[in-house]
């Protein structure tokens, strides 16, 4: 059958519009039914990940290494968080990391049971099902009472805590409320740590040049002397919704990763201490520590490697 | 130095010796009064408290927090501003905050407050819940060093220019001092 040109154009436009509409409906997380209690099942269907052997893996996957992922400012419940989570699962299958550290703002907005499902349990379900443990620190959007008691965050009911993996001592701090009691705890625990590596993670960055928040220099004035005294090697923070790697300051490596859910584009100012910055999409990190080396890879939501490298432990 | 001048300096010294412990005692009184009131608050609350334990269920956590809030509110039906921060205690806290801001880390404290998440206009009310969907601004560590220590479940929070005494286990505002943080 012959069609005239305007009709053909109209049909084509209608067809494209229908496709876009169908796709948008398909990708939008389902609205929670308020009567359905805590059950929230997003209908998000995300693009297929490439096969594990096609992933760009830049950490060495050494025997007996400590391997983990890092996310910060993740708990939005938005599509971007789900996509980063899906990318993480693809990399978990390939790299076998078995825990994740969370740099705060784990649950944005309200903290109803449904929020915990939508903003944590659902996006990271494949990881949780695979036995990956999440270790949370508290951000300014988190509930300082309920979240430490939420078992999947592995905080043991405390706002700040430490744990050990192989030769690495991890210290999760509450940078929202660094009171003398916490400083004294940090002093004691860093002093007693037998780990070859000491890694601290918390929400507010000690160094960064983001325009939205910037550096917390008062926090830095209190914790940095302890980090230096007891030989902390690496610090991971969030809060600023970007990825940033800072030049080592006083023998400590600093990473800012606050874009695993939230994103603040065009956020960077002039900062000579920045080695690498990324503020155009969401991301997460893979980290591997073996012997005297820390290997890292920062991966964007679309699978692109944003930053990677190998850092020696700087003896203090 | 003549006898007169010598006598003048001696009396000045004596005056200072008498004055300084008085000033310390005054501060001590305000801090002591504050702690007494905190103890009273906690002992009233203790009768209503729920022993919370880590759980997999966010529903249970929300329910326990809600129950704690309701019981705490019921235990203080007449609660009002000034119950904890009495005029003397308020005066003491304002001086401590002002002293911190004028101190060697004052600029850093100010910067830390400035960089915090912008908040909409929060209407503070004693014995009411701090809105759970709003972020809690971090409290600068240097400021915390200069304020009386608190039991584990209570925190000082800055909201705008107010100093808020926040009860974490119930999410309630125990008391607050409006305008506690002076404008730069």
- Predicted pLDDT at A29: 37
Looking at chain A, which residue has its C-alpha nearest residue B139?
A177
From B55, B65, B139, residue closest to A151, measured CB to CB: B55
Which residues lie closer than 8 Å to B164 by C-beta, 6 or more apart? Answer: B124, B130, B156, B157, B158, B173, B175, B176
A175 touches chain B (CB under 8 A): yes
- Predicted pLDDT at A9: 55
Identify the CA nearest to A150 among candidates A183, A188, A112: A112
- Regions of chain A short of the pLDDT cut 70: 1-53, 316
Tally: H helices and E strands in chain A? 7, 13
Answer yes or no: is pLDDT of B14 > 80.
Answer: no
- Predicted pLDDT at B24: 37
- Predicted pLDDT at A46: 56
Structure confidence by residue, pLDDT tens digits, A86-130: 999 999 999 999 999 999 999 999 999 999 999 999 999 999 999
Cα-to-chain-centroid distance, residue A136: 10
- For residue A88, the 8-state DSSP code is H
- For residue A86, the 8-state DSSP code is H
- Predicted pLDDT at B150: 97
Q: What residues of chain A, 93 to 112, have a C-beta less than 8 Å from chain B? A: 109-112
Question: Tell me, what's the ipTM?
Answer: 0.84
**Interface contact flag, B112 A218, Cβ < 8 Å:** yes
Look at A5-14, B61-70, B74-83 and tell me which has the smallest mean pLDDT.
A5-14
Tokens describing residue B132: 């759970």
A55 to chain B nearest CA, in Å?
33
From B58, B141, B149, residue closest to A222, measured CB to CB: B141
B100 touches chain A (CB under 8 A): no
**Interface contact flag, A177 B139, Cβ < 8 Å:** yes
Other beta carbons within 10 Å of A159: 24
- Neighboring chain B residues of A183 at a CB cutoff of 8 Å: 141
A176 touches chain B (CB under 8 A): yes
Tokens describing residue B5: 């001048």
**Arithmetic mean of pLDDT, B65-88:** 94
- Predicted pLDDT at A41: 43
For residues A239 and A213, is the Cβ–Cβ distance under 8 A? yes
Please tell me the pTM assigned to this model.
Answer: 0.85
DSSP secondary structure, A39-81, as one string: --------PPPPPGGGS---S---TT-EEEEEE-S-TT-SHHH
B56 to chain A nearest CA, in Å?
5
**Arithmetic mean of pLDDT, B82-109:** 96
B151 touches chain A (CB under 8 A): no
Q: For strand A133-136 and strand A161-165, is the pairing parallel, antiparallel, or unpaired?
A: unpaired
Alpha-carbon gap, residue B103 to B99, rounded angstroms:
6
Residue bearing the bigger pLDDT, B138 or B49: B138
- For residue B154, the 8-state DSSP code is E
């Amino acid at each position: 059958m012959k069609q005239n040109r305007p009709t053909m154009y109209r049909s084509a436009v209608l067809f494209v519009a229908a496709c876009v509409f169908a796709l948008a409906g398909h990708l939008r997380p389902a609205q929670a039914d308020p009567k359905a209690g805590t059950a929230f099942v997003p209908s998000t269907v995300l693009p297929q990940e490439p096969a594990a052997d096609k992933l760009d893996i830049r950490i060495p996957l050494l025997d007996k290494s400590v391997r983990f992922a890092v996310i910060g400012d993740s708990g939005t419940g938005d599509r971007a968080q789900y996509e980063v989570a899906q990318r993480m699962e693809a990399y978990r299958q390939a790299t076998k990391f078995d825990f994740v550290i969370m740099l705060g703002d784990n649950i944005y907005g309200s903290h109803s049971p449904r929020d915990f499902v939508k903003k944590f349990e659902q996006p990271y379900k494949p990881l949780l099902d695979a036995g990956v443990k999440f270790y949370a620190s508290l951000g300014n959007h988190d509930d300082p009472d309920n979240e430490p008691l939420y078992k999947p965050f592995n905080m043991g009911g405390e706002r700040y805590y430490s744990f050990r993996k192989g030769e690495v001592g991890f210290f999760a701090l509450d940078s929202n409320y660094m009171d003398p009691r916490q400083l004294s705890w940090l002093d004691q625990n860093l002093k007693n740590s037998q780990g070859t590596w000491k890694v601290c993670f918390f929400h507010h960055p000690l160094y960064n040049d983001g325009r939205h928040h910037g550096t917390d220099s008062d926090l830095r004035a209190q914790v940095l002397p302890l980090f230096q005294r007891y030989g902390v090697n690496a610090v991971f923070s969030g809060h600023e919704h970007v990825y940033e790697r800072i030049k080592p300051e006083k023998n400590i490596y600093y990473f800012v990763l606050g874009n695993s859910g939230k994103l603040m584009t065009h956020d960077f100012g002039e900062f000579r201490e920045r080695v690498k910055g990324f503020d155009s999409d969401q991301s997460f990190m893979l980290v591997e520590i073996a012997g005297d080396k820390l290997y890292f890879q920062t991966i964007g939501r679309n699978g692109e490697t944003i930053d990677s490298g190998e850092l020696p432990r700087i003896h203090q | 130095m003549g006898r007169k001048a010598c006598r003048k300096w001696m009396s000045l010294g004596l005056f200072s010796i008498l004055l300084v412990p008085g000033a310390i005692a005054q501060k001590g009184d305000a801090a002591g009064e504050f702690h007494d009131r905190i103890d009273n608050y906690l002992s009233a609350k203790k009768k209503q408290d729920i022993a919370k334990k880590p759980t997999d269920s966010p529903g249970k956590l929300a329910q326990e927090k809600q129950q704690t809030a309701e019981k705490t509110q019921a235990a203080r039906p007449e609660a009002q501003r000034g119950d904890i921060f009495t005029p003397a205690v308020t005066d003491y806290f304002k001086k401590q905050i002002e002293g911190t801001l004028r101190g060697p880390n004052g600029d850093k404290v100010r910067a830390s407050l400035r960089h915090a998440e912008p908040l909409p206009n929060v209407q503070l009310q004693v014995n009411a819940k701090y809105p759970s969907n709003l972020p809690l601004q971090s409290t600068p560590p240097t400021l915390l060093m200069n304020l009386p220590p608190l039991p584990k479940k209570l925190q000082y929070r800055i909201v705008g220019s107010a100093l808020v005494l926040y009860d974490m286990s119930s999410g309630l505002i125990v008391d607050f001092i409006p305008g506690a943080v002076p404008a730069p």
